Amino acid sequence: MARTRPNVVETVSQLRAAVRAFRGEGAKVALVPTMGALHAGHVALVRRAREIAGRTVVSIFVNPTQFGPTEDFSRYPRTFEADLDKLADVGADLVYAPAPGEMYPEGFATRIVVGGPSEGLETDFRPHFFAGVATVVGKLFIHCMPDYALFGEKDYQQLKVVTRLSRDLDLGVQVVGMATVREADGLALSSRNAYLSAAERATAPVIHRSLSAAAAAIRAGGDPAAAVAQAADAIAEAGLKVDYVAARNADTLAALAGPGEPVRLLAAAWLGSTRLIDNIPV
Ligand code: PAF
């Protein structure tokens, strides 16, 4: 039997009243920020949130400020009713779905800019992106004031940026990262996979396959720069346009300085008109 759908609130004051009631029960509160179009990766985040906190809030807001002028804001999938059914099944307690005017009222003029982990990688290709993400995530944290916030490792650089944001602004939110959920053929789950044609969908796992081969080569003692260059070639040979394939320090995302540090491989590439990103540990 389908479970009851979670309550939906649309304003900051309604959200704060609901969270106050949760705290009145003595519950810890976890927030799962999303842009909707929920898939099994989001469901895994909510499931984990329910394990670590008594009450789970899921925000659904397609954030215009993290999309560039030529990006997919208007065609980004919006599946609100199906999202509520998935959240009912996994037992989320509350959905926060603010209207754009609630998040960015007339005259809104503030931006949060995080340095450090936001430098390079995505920023080289989407210079607007992390200020948009940091501003909306900062606002969501301030609106909800959760104990925990959960993010997928699929957006690894984003996870590092929001962790830095919470620490640097003393927001008191413990950011929890969760392993990427993948299809059987390795493709990382993403709301944007819905854009892929059948032929593109068959090609898309080349990113994960190539990163995995590079990770294996590095683990076997190979040079990281050579391994990522080979991965970039393999992805390009499959017909994608590569934005980057990079080996970085897994904690700071800085360039590798020498042997012995934790390494993360990260990639972004266009498959037709769809931009896919992925990353794996070495
Ligand atoms: O990862 C996402 O879905 C978005 O970037 C986030 C964190 C919800 C901010 O809009």
Q: Judge if the beta carbon of residue 133 lies within 6 A of ligand 1.
A: yes
Q: Looking at the predicted structure, is the pLDDT value of residue 281 above 70? A: yes
Q: How many residues does the chain have?
A: 282
Q: At residue 175, what are phi and psi to the nearest 5 degrees?
A: -85, 125
Give dist(CA 203, CA 37) in Å, integer: 22
- How confident is the model over 84-116, as pLDDT tens digits? 999 999 999 999 999 999 999 999 999 999 999
How far is it, in rounded angstroms, from Cα 231 to Cα 267? 9
CATH 3.40.640.10: does it fit domain 191-281?
Answer: no
Residue closest via CA to ligand 1's atom 5 equals 133
Q: Where are the domains of the chain?
A: 7-178, 191-281
136 CA from centroid of ligand 1 (Å): 8
Q: Which of 67, 112, 137 gets mutated to test ligand 1 (max ligand atoms within 8 A of its CB)?
A: 137
Ligand 1 nearest-atom number relative to CA 63: 10
Task: State what percent of residues in the chain have pLDDT above 90.
Answer: 98
Fold that domain 7-178 belongs to in CATH: Rossmann fold (3.40.50)
pLDDT at 41 over 80: yes
| Ligand 1 contacts CB of residue 33 (under 6 A) | yes
Give the span between the Cα atoms of 41 and 10, in whole angstroms.
24
pLDDT tens digits along 148-181: 999 999 999 999 999 999 999 999 999 999 999 9
Query: Burial level of 184, CB count in 10 A (0-12/13-18/19+)?
Result: exposed
SS3 75: coil
pLDDT given at position 3: 80
> What are the tens digits of pLDDT across the range 8-31?
999 999 999 999 999 999 999 999
The CB-side HSE value for 122 (13 A sphere, CA atoms) comes to 28
Q: Is the CB of 137 under 6 A from ligand 1?
A: yes
pLDDT at 33 over 90: yes
Residue among 39, 42, 143, 208 flagged as catalytic? 42
Per cent of the chain over pLDDT 70 is: 99
The pick from 34, 62, 181 for probing ligand 1's pocket by mutation, whose C-beta has the most ligand atoms within 8 angstroms, reads: 34
Averaged pLDDT of the chain: 97
For 213-246, write each residue's pLDDT tens digit.
999 999 999 999 999 999 999 999 999 999 999 9
42 is catalytic: yes
Look at residue 258 in the predicted model and tell me its pLDDT: 86
Q: Residues 274, 192: contact at Cβ < 8 Å? A: yes
Reading the block at residue 135, the tokens are 């501003």
Task: Give yes or no for residue 1 having a pLDDT over 80.
Answer: no
Q: Is 130 exposed, middle or buried (0-12, 13-18, 19+ CB in 10 A)?
A: buried
- Give the pLDDT confidence score for residue 259 in this predicted structure: 87
